């Protein structure tokens, strides 16, 4: 059930007023939980049982962790949680990839191996709700939060439909206290939440799907038919497409949660205006980058060791972060590139003796954006051969069509806008506009969404992860 679909509009039109009509906070939570499971069942009813199993196991294990005093037993319980969650993730998401990799490795040894056909459908959102659920058991193990949540509250935390299938990866410590405390929904919250939803849908339907996706798909699909103009349009255009697609989804999730009285953390902060790669990861997919930092990078040792240990920890974190996105070596390459960027940046900063000025700031900002776009090639291209074919577009001149020039100009304009806005927040910018301009923004978004409707329905890119 896509946020930009008629089925979701009907779903929300039924669920939201019904939620508001309930008086008891317990009844509201029970209703939201049931509605969230209906939302998830719309994708594949059978996979509701996987969601329920993961929820039940982690809730029970966390309760045992909270009561257990033996450190050895507590570690065993944590290992069970990690094994159960990551085991399911590995099976469903990486089973076919593993079999194919084994086949290729044996082929290098002249051993013929024909793996069984892997036709198991990936449960939508499993990467997101697995990480959200793991945050609970890990934090309970660390004694950073208590394990006193009821099963209903915990199940609602995991399954709450705005963040269930593509994040943000809201942690238990942030959402469970909100669930346990009765929420009062105000007209101001609903109004602002709907503005965020409209902006998010506008970003998805107008920018990502109608402006950038056709050009990017055409160039990556038939690179031999395009020259440098088309290549540049797709090079910068995919950066814009994935930002407006995933950033738009995140705004929808945050806005929808706010309509029900819940506050989600921001997931993007004008990432293409970043001053370096570490700054980029403080701005891009913030809920994932902070999760990887707190539950992987820091436990590995973070930057507390020597230079080599820090570089190793950065590379491991980014390689696994790349693999989290999908079962493909191209995602591993994407993660490796970002790991290399972070390592190189760290080395340069340790040796840089020059001062900061407008020129160096501009060079760093532009360079960061360009190298991030280079890494996006590995993210978008399905194979190394297709990536090489795409890069060949930069070696020939062919006059671009008007749509290519327009997409290129729009992508560069997006970069300039994020550069200008990087020290502000979207909330702050909207607050400065005042009520009437905000209504105008919402109206313009509705008109744009209407005009962009009627084309091919595209799932949000991060639904596949």
Q: How far apart are CA 323 and CA 332, in angstroms?
A: 5
Please, are residues 246 and 460 in contact by the beta-carbon 8 Å criterion?
yes
Please, are residues 192 and 431 in contact by the beta-carbon 8 Å criterion?
no
Please, are residues 242 and 210 in contact by the beta-carbon 8 Å criterion?
no
The total number of residues shown for the chain amounts to 465
* Buried residues in 161-171 as b, exposed as e (16+ CB within 10 A): bbbbbbbbbbb
Tokens (6 digits) for 191? 């109004």
CB burial of residue 205 (10 Å; 0-12, 13-18, 19+): buried
Radius of gyration of the chain, Cα coordinates, nearest whole angstrom: 23
Q: How far apart are CA 65 and CA 68, in angstroms?
A: 5
Q: How far apart are CA 275 and CA 132, in angstroms?
A: 29
Sign for the pseudo-dihedral over CA of 126, 129, 133, 139: positive
Tokens (6 digits) for 410? 């729009």
Q: Using DSSP, state whether 163 is helix, strand or coil.
A: helix
Q: How far apart are CA 62 and CA 241, in angstroms?
A: 39
Which one of 163, 269, 285, 325 is the catalytic residue?
325
Tokens (6 digits) for 378? 């590995």
Give Cα 417 to chain centroid, integer Å: 21
Taking alpha carbons only, the member of 121, 161, 148 closest to residue 257 is 161
Taking alpha carbons only, the member of 48, 80, 36 closest to residue 62 is 80
CB burial of residue 98 (10 Å; 0-12, 13-18, 19+): middle
Sign for the pseudo-dihedral over CA of 68, 72, 76, 79: positive
CA angle 280, 281, 284 (to 5 degrees): 80
Please, are residues 115 and 102 in contact by the beta-carbon 8 Å criterion?
yes
Contacts of 309 (CB under 8 A, 6+ apart): 301
Q: How far apart are CA 331 and CA 63, in angstroms?
A: 36
325 given a catalytic annotation:
yes
CA angle 263, 161, 31 (to 5 degrees): 95
Taking alpha carbons only, the member of 374, 334, 296 closest to residue 465 is 334
Residues with catalytic roles: 325
């Amino acid at each position: 059930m896509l946020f930009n679909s008629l089925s979701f509009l009907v779903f929300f039109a039924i669920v939201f007023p019904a939620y508001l009509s309930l008086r008891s906070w317990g009844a509201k939570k029970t209703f939201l939980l049931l509605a969230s499971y209906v939302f998830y069942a719309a994708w594949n009813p059978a996979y509701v049982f996987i969601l329920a199993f993961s929820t039940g196991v982690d809730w029970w294990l966390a309760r045992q962790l909270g009561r257990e005093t033996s450190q050895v037993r507590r570690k065993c319980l944590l290992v069970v949680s990690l094994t159960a969650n990551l085991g399911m993730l590995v099976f469903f998401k990486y089973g076919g990839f593993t079999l194919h990799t084994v086949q290729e490795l044996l082929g290098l040894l002249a051993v013929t191996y024909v793996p069984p056909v892997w036709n198991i459908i990936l449960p939508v959102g499993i990467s997101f709700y697995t990480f959200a659920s793991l945050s609970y058991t890990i934090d309970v193990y660390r004694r950073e939060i208590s394990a006193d949540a009821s099963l209903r509250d915990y199940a609602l935390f995991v399954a709450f439909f705005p963040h269930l299938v593509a994040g943000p990866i809201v942690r238990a410590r942030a959402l469970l206290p909100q669930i346990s405390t009765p929420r009062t929904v105000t007209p101001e919250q609903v109004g602002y939440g709907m503005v965020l939803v409209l902006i998010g849908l506008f970003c998805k339907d107008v920018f990502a799907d109608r402006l950038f996706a056709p050009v990017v798909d055409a160039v990556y699909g038939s690179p031999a038919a395009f020259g440098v103009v088309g290549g540049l349009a797709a090079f910068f255009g995919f950066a814009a497409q994935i930002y407006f697609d995933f950033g738009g989804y995140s705004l929808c999730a945050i806005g929808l949660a706010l309509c029900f009285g819940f506050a989600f953390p921001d997931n993007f902060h004008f990432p293409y205006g970043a001053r370096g790669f570490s700054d980029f990861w403080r701005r891009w997919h913030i809920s994932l980058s902070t999760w990887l930092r707190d539950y992987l990078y820091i436990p590995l040792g973070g930057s507390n060791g020597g230079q080599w240990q820090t570089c190793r920890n950065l590379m491991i974190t980014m390689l696994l972060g790349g693999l989290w996105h999908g079962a493909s070596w191209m995602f591993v390459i994407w993660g490796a590139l970002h790991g290399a960027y972070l390592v190189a940046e760290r080395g340069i900063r340790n040796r840089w003796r020059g001062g900061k000025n407008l020129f160096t700031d501009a060079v760093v900002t532009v360079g960061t954006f360009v190298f991030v776009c280079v890494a996006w090639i590995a993210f978008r291209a399905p194979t190394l051969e297709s990536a090489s074919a795409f890069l060949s577009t930069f070696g020939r001149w062919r006059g671009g069509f008007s749509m290519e020039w327009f997409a290129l100009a729009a992508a560069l304009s997006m970069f300039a806008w994020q550069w200008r806005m990087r020290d502000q927040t979207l909330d702050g910018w909207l607050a400065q506009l005042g009520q009437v301009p905000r209504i105008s923004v919402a109206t313009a978004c509705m008109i744009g969404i209407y005009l962009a409707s009627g084309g091919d329905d595209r799932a949000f890119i991060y639904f596949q992860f």
